[in-house]
Amino acid sequence: MQAAAMDPADEPPSMLWGMDPIFSAFARLFVRDILQMTESVQVPGIYFYNLHPIYKVDVLGTVVYKRERDDFFCYGVDDGTGVINCLCWKSNLLKEEEDPSKSGTKHSDAAEGGFDLVAELRKLRQKQRKRCHLEIGELIRVRGPVKTSRQQREITASTYYKVDDPVMAVQIAWMMEVPQLYRLFYDKHFQLDAAGYRDPSLRAACRDSAETSLSKATNIIKDFLKQRLVAKFRPYDVQDLLQPLISSRLQTQSAGQEAVAGPSGCQQLNQLLKEVLQVLQDQGTVYRKVKSQDEVYHVTIQDKDLLITVKDIIREDSKREKYAEKGCHILHILSAVRQRYSLNVSKAALELVLQTLECDSDIVSTSDSHYIAF
C-alpha cells in the first residue's frame, strides 16, 4: 500500500531536519510503517513518520521470496507486520565465479605443513557467500536507505546478512527493543513551535534564529551526547549528525547561480566537526584522556572513573590538617587529578565534575573555589 504525499504546509522545513536525531540514525521501524510513510515534497527520498524525517532504516525479518540477478539479490522481508522488497547488491567477491582450473594445485603448502593462503581465502569467500546468499525461511537483517521504485516502497541495502538465531534470542531481543524505541522516540511527534523550532526537547539547540553553523552544530552534538548518555566516542561516530547542516549550506550556495570554487562538502564537514570538538573541549564537555592517533573523546560527566578519582582526592585530602577547615582548592584538585588520572583534564572539565558531585551530595563547596567531602 502506497502512502499519499504530505501537504507541503505540514512538512517541517528541511533546514531543521538535522535537529531530529532520528534523521541521522538507521530507524528501526516496522515494515508496515515503512510502507505507509509519507514522502517529502521538498526532497524526494526523504520520508516522514510522525513528522520525523527518515531516509534510512534497519529491518529484521524472514525471507519470504527471492530473486537473483547477475548484480543483485531481491529478498522479500517479512517482519510480521508487512513485507517489503530489499534490493541487495552483490559485492565483487560474490560475483566472481570459482575457476575450477585454479582450485586444485599440484603443489600445496598445506600438504607440506605450511599455511595455504589460497585455500584460506577460498574458505573466507565461501563463508561470505553463505552469509549473503539466503533461502526462503531464513532470517535476514537489512540496513539501508528507503526509496520508491515503480510506485513500490523498497530498501536498497547498504548492509545485509543472514542471522543465525536457532533459539530465537535475536528475534526476541528485537521485539522487545523496537516497541521501546517507538514509545521513547518514534511516537513522539517532531513538533515545531511558531518560530519553527522543536519544542521542547531541542528548543535550546535552536533558540536563536541568528545562530551560526558552529553554534548549531555544537548544540546538536551536545544534545546527542546527553540524550544517549554517551561515555566516549570517536569523531566518525558523530560526524553524520552534522551532515544536514552541510547539505543545507551547499544547497544555499548552489542556489546562488554562481560557480565559486571552494571546499567540498566532505572538507566542510571535517572542518566543522573539528571546530565543534574544539569548542566542546574548551567548555569542558569532552576531553581526550590520552592524546594519540586514535582520537577517543571522553564525555566528562559520563566518565565514572574521573568522577571517582576526583571524589577520592577530595575525601583523602580533606582529612589533612592543611585542608580540614577550608577544604581543597580547585587548582590543588586539578593538579592532583592530572598527576593521578590524566594530564589532559582541563579546569573547565573539572568544574563540570565538581558540579556533578555537588549535585549528588558527594562533596560540598565551602567557598567559590574550595571543596570538602561529606
For 5, how many CA atoms within 13 A lie in the half-sphere containing its CB?
Answer: 11
Q: What is the pLDDT of residue 21?
A: 87
Residue 51 neighbours by CB distance under 10 Å:
16
Say whether pLDDT at 106 is over 60: no
Asked whether the beta carbons of 262 and 253 are under 8 A apart, the reply is yes
Q: Is the pLDDT of residue 69 over 80?
A: yes
Query: What pLDDT does 205 receive?
Result: 40
The top-scoring range by mean pLDDT among 169-183, 195-209, 249-263 is: 169-183
Looking at the domain covering 303-373, what would its CATH class be? mainly alpha
What is the domain partition of the chain in residue ranges?
A: 1-203, 211-298, 303-373
Percent of the chain clearing pLDDT 70 (strictly above)? 80
Domain 211-298 matches domain 303-373 at the CATH topology level: yes
Computed over every residue of the chain, the mean pLDDT equals: 82
Confidence (pLDDT) at 259: 41
pTM of the complete model = 0.47
Helix, strand or coil, per DSSP, at residue 10: helix
Question: Using CA atoms, how far apart are residues 195 and 186, in angstroms rounded to an integer?
Answer: 23
CA distance 282 to 279: 5
Q: Which residue has the higher pLDDT, 224 or 99?
A: 224
Q: Which residue has the higher pLDDT, 106 or 159?
A: 159
Q: By the 8 A CB rule, do 246 and 263 touch? A: no
Q: Is the bond preceding 200 in cis, omega lying within 30 degrees of 0?
A: yes
pLDDT at 330: 92
Q: In the structure grid, which three cell numbers stand for residue 201, read together?
A: 526537547
Pick the CATH number of 1-203 from 2.60.130.10, 2.40.50.140, 3.40.50.300, 3.30.750.24: 2.40.50.140
Domain 211-298, CATH: 1.10.10.980
Query: By three-state DSSP, how is residue 12 classified?
Result: coil
Rounded to whole angstroms, how far apart are CA atoms 272 and 350?
A: 26
Number of H helices, E strands in the chain: 13, 15
Pick from 112, 130, 110: which is nearest to 120 by CA?
A: 110
- pLDDT, residue 115, reads 76
Summarised one tens digit per residue, pLDDT across range 313-345 is 999 998 888 888 888 999 999 999 999 999 999
* E strand segments, the chain: 38-39, 47-49, 52-54, 56-68, 72-78, 83-89, 139-149, 152-156, 159-162, 232-233, 286-287, 297-299, 328-329, 363-365, 370-373
| Nearest CA among 8, 79, 109, 6 for reference residue 49 | 6
